[in-house]
Chains A and B, each alone.
Chain A
């Protein structure tokens, strides 16, 4: 994985010193909150319901064991013993003291981590496929480009004050595991006539106005991607609205301007950008790519696994995915124990996962947008020992992509923007469907919950989505069906009137009953919904 050079480290260290001074000036009264707020937000520090919240960047979700242990250290030393892995592949801490925030950032900097650009109207953490570099279906490892874009977008002077926040995703396979087309810019690495390049999608997103990004260019040569993105951002910076924050995302611009007109503006700007020599030389791309060279896999390993332990076999079938290297496997660690808080991990669990990555997965971990953790390079011969260690720490729930593998935002339990609680709904649904056999019988079913219209819980993209709203001071939950963040991307449709806290759990169960009564062989929930439509579900839900 990428290691900071002296320039990266110097930038991060300087930022810590700057923020320490700014914080001291705020605490001494030299800065007002109005002056300080944009500064702390640019350093990932929010003021939430119970305290300050710090969001730490995990670039494209990849980190090493030393960095993971630092996350545990932060949880233990400065927070209340846990962290929350987010749908942006980052981690958040909920109980931060302002006076200690500079010390936290200083500790993070010692392992090449920071909170820069995890908030504010700038280019946020670049997200990517959690199986990058190890999946057999990818045409290239997307992380070198993601890293290049991280460097390009960090402190980019022209894009530090965009009309609104900006999210970029890079994948490299036809199977989309990162909700690519629901980003401001989605990039899919492709090959054409033997040359590598990128398909560019612009103007996707969730939030109050969900949109699927249209394709803006079907192929940009790899060496020109930075110039092309620069053109995309310049057109947005020039024409994007700044008078209304709810109309300021690029998706609104592309929608209102029209994809063809936006594309024409970008092409004009791109032609100009190419004359400026902004694209990095090949040697720099190769330097970055070298950081993502495959680890020293052993060869000649057996693919055989002893499946005689039924619980282990169940975990294998659910959490373990094929690896492109013979003898190895991809392991998904569930942060979704039945009745637990999706994405939360204790300091002890974080430390354990760091240890296990060091022992079994070449010292590397990935955070997924579904709020789980991946160990990407595990020898099949080590799977049983790894499973035993995970099981002992309540990290081996076999529910990947099943109904209890719920994405949930922090909701009204933590978030000052939320209108309703998300986590208790996730807990109750997981408990209702606690039997893993029942979950397996339902098959792939992605359930996503947001506590407000900002959609941090990706409810628009859930096969079943739930949106919490405030109805005259009472929590109410709308149900959506048919969404997807994968390659079959779709936005969920609202079923009708919302439900109370008890009713929404019953409604989810009724929806699964309709699916079970109507599915044909091999159909997932979302397939059946697309075939039979909303009517049978509405009939069951509102009878």
Chain B
């Protein structure tokens, strides 16, 4: 699947396109098919996202998983600071990145 990501213009937060808006949780991301560039352009013009781009991802029972490690780190947070990740209570969350 192809999913759309970028950063919130004002906060810089990593965000994922949900089909209706943006979420900080990658599991909310939807397949944008071949519409990613068009959505990115419109959302950038509306100043809801910055530096948006389309990436490859997979989906299974555990959720959406970006294909590249860089985007998995973006999705979770720095592997060396689990306390600052989106799953601070799960010390094994970083295993998902590798």
Which residues of A are interface residues toward B (Cβ below 8 A)?
A: 26-27, 29, 33, 47, 49-52, 80, 94-99, 341, 412-414, 416, 418, 421, 423-424, 427, 473-475
Q: Please give, as numbers and ranges, the residues of chain A lying within 8 Å of B51 by CB-CB distance.
A: 33, 47
In the complex, B59 has a CB within 8 A of chain A:
no
Q: Which residue among B9, B67, B74 has the maximum number of chain A CB atoms within 10 Å of its CB?
A: B9
B9, A49: Cβ atoms under 8 Å?
Answer: no
Nearest residue, chain B, Cβ from A340: B80
Q: Please give, as numbers and ranges, the residues of chain A lying within 8 Å of B9 by CB-CB distance.
A: 26-27, 98
A341–B83 CA distance with the chains assembled, in angstroms:
14
A473–B66 CA distance with the chains assembled, in angstroms:
11
In the complex, B18 has a CB within 8 A of chain A:
no
Q: Do A98 and B73 form a contact, CB below 8 Å, given A33-B51, A413-B80, A421-B79? A: no
A51, B79: Cβ atoms under 8 Å?
Answer: no
A414, B78: Cβ atoms under 8 Å?
Answer: yes
Q: Please give, as numbers and ranges, the residues of chain A lying within 8 Å of B68 by CB-CB distance.
A: 473
B12, A29: Cβ atoms under 8 Å?
Answer: no
Q: Do A49 and B50 form a contact, CB below 8 Å, given A98-B10, A423-B80, A475-B69? A: no
State the main secondary structure of chain A at its contact with B: mixed
State the main secondary structure of chain B at its contact with A: loop
B78, A413: Cβ atoms under 8 Å?
Answer: yes
Q: Do A424 and B79 form a contact, CB below 8 Å, given A27-B9, A47-B7, A50-B74? A: yes
A287–B78 CA distance with the chains assembled, in angstroms:
46
Q: Please give, as numbers and ranges, the residues of chain A lying within 8 Å of B70 by CB-CB distance.
A: 49, 412, 416, 418
Q: Do A51 and B69 form a contact, CB below 8 Å, given A29-B47, A423-B80? A: no
Distance between B86 CB and nearest chain A CB, rounded to angstroms: 10
A424, B77: Cβ atoms under 8 Å?
Answer: no
B79, A27: Cβ atoms under 8 Å?
Answer: no
Q: Please give, as numbers and ranges, the residues of chain B lying within 8 Å of A33 by CB-CB distance.
A: 44, 50-51
A29–B41 CA distance with the chains assembled, in angstroms:
14
Give 24 A-B contacts (CB < 8 Å), ordered by A residue.
A26-B9, A27-B47, A47-B51, A49-B70, A50-B12, A50-B14, A50-B74, A50-B77, A51-B14, A80-B84, A95-B84, A96-B12, A98-B12, A99-B11, A341-B81, A413-B78, A413-B79, A413-B81, A414-B78, A416-B70, A421-B79, A424-B79, A473-B69, A475-B69
Q: Please give, as numbers and ranges, the residues of chain A lying within 8 Å of B47 by CB-CB distance.
A: 27, 29
A424–B69 CA distance with the chains assembled, in angstroms:
14
In the complex, B13 has a CB within 8 A of chain A:
yes
Q: Please give, as numbers and ranges, the residues of chain A lying within 8 Å of B77 by CB-CB distance.
A: 50
A27, B10: Cβ atoms under 8 Å?
Answer: yes
Distance between B43 CB and nearest chain A CB, rounded to angstroms: 12
Q: Please give, as numbers and ranges, the residues of chain B lying within 8 Å of A51 by CB-CB distance.
A: 7, 11-14
Distance between A97 CB and nearest chain B CB, rounded to angstroms: 5
B11, A98: Cβ atoms under 8 Å?
Answer: yes
Q: Which residue among B9, B10, B12, B68 has the maximum number of chain A CB atoms within 10 Å of its CB?
A: B12
Query: Of B11, B44, B80, which contacts A341 at CB under 8 A?
Result: B80
A412–B94 CA distance with the chains assembled, in angstroms:
13
Q: Please give, as numbers and ranges, the residues of chain B lying within 8 Å of A94 by CB-CB distance.
A: 78
B79, A97: Cβ atoms under 8 Å?
Answer: no
B10, A97: Cβ atoms under 8 Å?
Answer: yes
